[in-house]
């Protein structure tokens, strides 16, 4: 299952990179020329966010973490993803202009620095997608069926005595048998 997810995520990464690369050509082929520039930019950033997510999932699948159950780590997301999230919000311009005018008295050097720093929306969306993807933890535990649990119970009893019905019932309830 892990290998299937790894291959599927890798194919999705390539697919969304192609969507991002040929976005303008795809719009012309589909005949969607009346799309506003803001909507086109949003769709491009969403494609990059998905690419970053797939790369993060690939990294987590390659690491083979030994965990007991699948989960989503919010702590990881906050640690890794808070900075690119703030930069994506501030990259629009109106908020940044307000902050520069209010707190830094319209400094030209500072406004140029923030403009060049925050205008890299592609980097921030890739980073945020990677943070979301790497926050997912997969567990690939094998399912133990009842007939195999009875066989394993026979090998776990040290004195080689016969397995009694109460022992099997307790094993089915995820308890160890009493001797």
Positive or negative, the Cα torsion across 84, 88, 91, 93?
Answer: negative
Number of domains in the chain: 2
Same domain, 119 and 169: no
Same domain, 133 and 151: no
pLDDT the model gives residue 61: 83
Q: Which of 38-42, 48-52, 107-111 has the lowest mean pLDDT?
A: 107-111
Same domain, 108 and 173: no
Same domain, 78 and 112: yes
Same domain, 154 and 126: no
pTM: 0.66
Cβ-Cβ contacts under 8 Å for 148 (sequence gap 6 or more):
none
pLDDT the model gives residue 179: 47
Same domain, 85 and 119: yes
pLDDT the model gives residue 131: 92
Tell me the mean pLDDT in the region 44-59. 89
Same domain, 73 and 101: yes
- Its domain, for residue 100, covers 2-137
Same domain, 152 and 129: no
pLDDT the model gives residue 91: 82
pLDDT the model gives residue 70: 67
Q: Which of 34-43, 57-66, 99-108, 139-148 has the lowest mean pLDDT?
A: 139-148
Residue 129 — very low, low, confident or very high, per pLDDT cuts 50/70/90?
very high
Tell me which residue has tokens 């086109």. 40
Same domain, 120 and 35: yes
Residue 128 — very low, low, confident or very high, per pLDDT cuts 50/70/90?
very high
Tell me the mean pLDDT in the region 140-166. 57
Residue 172 pLDDT > 50: no
Residue 36 pLDDT > 80: yes
Same domain, 128 and 168: no
Residue 22: both structure tokens together: 């040929």
Same domain, 27 and 10: yes
Cβ-Cβ contacts under 8 Å for 51 (sequence gap 6 or more):
13, 16, 17, 20, 126, 129
Residue 157 — very low, low, confident or very high, per pLDDT cuts 50/70/90?
low
Strand residue runs (E) in the chain: 71-72, 136-137
Same domain, 64 and 149: no
Q: Which of 30-34, 35-39, 59-63 has the lowest mean pLDDT?
A: 30-34
pLDDT the model gives residue 22: 87
């Amino acid at each position: 299952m892990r290998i299937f997810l790894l291959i599927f995520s890798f194919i999705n990464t390539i697919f969304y990179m192609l969507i991002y690369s040929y976005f303008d050509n795809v719009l012309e082929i589909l005949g969607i020329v009346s799309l506003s520039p803001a909507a086109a930019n949003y769709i491009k950033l969403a494609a990059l966010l998905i690419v970053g997510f797939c790369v993060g999932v690939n990294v987590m699948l390659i690491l083979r973490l030994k965990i007991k159950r699948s989960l989503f780590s919010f702590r990881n997301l906050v640690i890794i993803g808070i900075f690119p999230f703030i930069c994506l919000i501030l990259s629009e311009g109106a908020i940044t202009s307000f902050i520069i005018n209010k707190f830094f008295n319209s400094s030209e050097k500072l406004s140029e620095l923030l403009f060049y720093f925050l205008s890299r929306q592609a980097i921030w969306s890739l980073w945020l997608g990677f943070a979301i993807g790497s926050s997912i933890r997969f567990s690939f535990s094998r399912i133990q069926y009842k007939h195999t649990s009875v066989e394993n119970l026979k090998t776990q009893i040290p004195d080689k005595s016969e397995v009694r019905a109460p022992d099997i019932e307790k094993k089915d309830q995820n308890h160890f048998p009493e001797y």
